[in-house]
């Protein structure tokens, strides 16, 4: 059910992102303003990443099978890397345009109507980012949070573009346009690094729960003598846990198994994100 909710959210965000993108690109092309055009591309690729995210969720929601006995959840993280890939392309293309504009500046004509349209775009960006990030936290979705962070960058980039346009309108030279565009690229690069950090943690099986939190639950069972090799992996919605416990040598296997069943229920109650537990039993 959560995957269905995530896909529906991505569809809504796609429409809003492309509405903003086409408005910015049209203004950028008609006025020759590079910073507006580059920010429009940024918004356009927001929509592309929504599609990538939707496809990633479509794959991630597939149940476990013989080929993928642990499920397909990591496809969501793979989709987040797709977001990073397209961000890199945007940063590269805009950087080339910046270099060209620095050596071949052009005259920019912008009216207050353009500034008003950009202000409306900024408001839409703010709503989209806030809504998507809130849902990402609520549904524990890495793709929604990554995409929301992308949109959040418009708080600064679109705001900077509006500032640049106003400064040009007030008489500053057009060279301010590519300078503002450099600022936009800088935030795209920074955002890409943040997405890489989060997704690489999932794909490299980074520990998701502190070992001490698991150990405290295990040590609450007096019949368990010790525990070791506590490991977690997965994502925030579906965590895999495995560890080793030791029992007294004279305890029957059936009794030890029953205690482990109780231990699994206790762990899942305290930390519901842990959904798959493997316990190895050894004599003390």
Q: Residue 29 belongs to what domain range?
A: 2-203
pLDDT over threshold 60, residue 1: no
Largest separation between any pair of C-alpha atoms in the chain: 88
Res 241: pLDDT? 95
Choose one of 156, 175, 203: the last residue of a domain. Answer: 203
pTM: 0.67
Residue range 255-269: mean pLDDT, rounded? 92
- On whether both 144 and 27 belong to a single domain, the answer is yes
- When the pLDDT of each residue in the chain is averaged and rounded to a whole number, the result is 81
- On whether both 148 and 222 belong to a single domain, the answer is no
Residue range 122-150: mean pLDDT, rounded? 83
- On whether both 151 and 261 belong to a single domain, the answer is no
- On whether both 83 and 182 belong to a single domain, the answer is yes
- On whether both 46 and 143 belong to a single domain, the answer is yes
State the DSSP string of 184-250: HHHHHHHHHHHHHHHHHHHHTT---S-HHHHHHHHTT-TTEEEEEEEEEEE-SSSEEEEEEEEE-TT
Res 196: pLDDT? 85
- On whether both 157 and 241 belong to a single domain, the answer is no
pLDDT over threshold 90, residue 39: no
Choose one of 182, 203, 224: the last residue of a domain. Answer: 203
Residue range 25-54: mean pLDDT, rounded? 76
- On whether both 11 and 135 belong to a single domain, the answer is yes
User: How many structural domains are present in the chain?
Assistant: 2
Q: Please state which of the ranges 55-64, 81-90, 219-228, 272-281 shows the lowest mean pLDDT.
A: 81-90
Cα angle at 257 between 69 and 218, to 5 degrees?
Answer: 85
- On whether both 92 and 194 belong to a single domain, the answer is yes
Res 270: pLDDT? 92
Res 198: pLDDT? 80
Residue in 50, 86, 87, 57 with CA at minimum distance from that of residue 74: 57
Res 35: pLDDT? 63
pLDDT over threshold 60, residue 89: yes
Q: How confident is the model at residue 153 (pLDDT cuts 50, 70, 90)?
A: low
Choose one of 203, 220, 251: the last residue of a domain. Answer: 203
More confident residue, 230 or 237: 230
pLDDT over threshold 70, residue 49: yes
Number of Cβ within 10 Å of residue 63's Cβ equals 7
- On whether both 193 and 226 belong to a single domain, the answer is no
More confident residue, 42 or 88: 88
- On whether both 149 and 112 belong to a single domain, the answer is yes
pLDDT over threshold 90, residue 217: yes
More confident residue, 204 or 167: 204
257 vs 234: CA distance, rounded Å:
25
């Amino acid at each position: 059910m959560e995957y269905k909710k995530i896909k529906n959210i991505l569809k809504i965000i796609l429409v809003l992102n492309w509405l903003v993108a086409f408005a910015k690109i049209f203004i950028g092309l008609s006025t020759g303003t590079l910073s507006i055009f580059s920010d429009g591309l940024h918004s356009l690729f927001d929509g592309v990443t929504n599609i990538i995210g939707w496809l990633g969720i479509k794959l991630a929601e597939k149940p476990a099978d013989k080929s993928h006995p642990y499920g397909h959840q990591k496809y969501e993280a793979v989709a987040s890397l797709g977001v990073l890939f397209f961000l890199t392309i945007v940063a590269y293309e805009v950087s080339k345009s910046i270099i060209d504009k620095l050596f071949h500046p052009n005259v920019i004509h912008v009216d207050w109507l353009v500034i008003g349209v950009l202000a409306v775009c900024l408001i839409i960006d703010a709503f989209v980012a806030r809504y998507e990030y809130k849902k990402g936290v609520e549904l524990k979705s890495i793709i929604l949070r990554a995409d929301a962070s992308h949109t959040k960058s418009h708080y600064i980039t679109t705001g900077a573009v509006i500032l640049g346009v106003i400064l040009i309108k007030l008489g500053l030279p057009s060279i301010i346009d590519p300078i503002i565009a450099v600022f936009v690229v800088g935030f795209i690069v920074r955002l890409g690094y943040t997405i890489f950090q989060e997704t690489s943690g999932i794909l490299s099986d980074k520990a998701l729960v502190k070992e001490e939190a698991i150990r405290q639950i295990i040590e609450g069972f007096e019949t368990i003598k010790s525990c070791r090799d506590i490991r977690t992996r997965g994502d925030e919605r579906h965590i895999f846990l495995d560890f080793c416990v030791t029992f007294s040598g004279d305890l029957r296997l059936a009794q030890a198994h029953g205690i482990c069943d109780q231990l699994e229920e206790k762990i899942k109650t305290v930390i519901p994100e842990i959904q798959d537990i493997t316990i190895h039993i050894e004599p003390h």
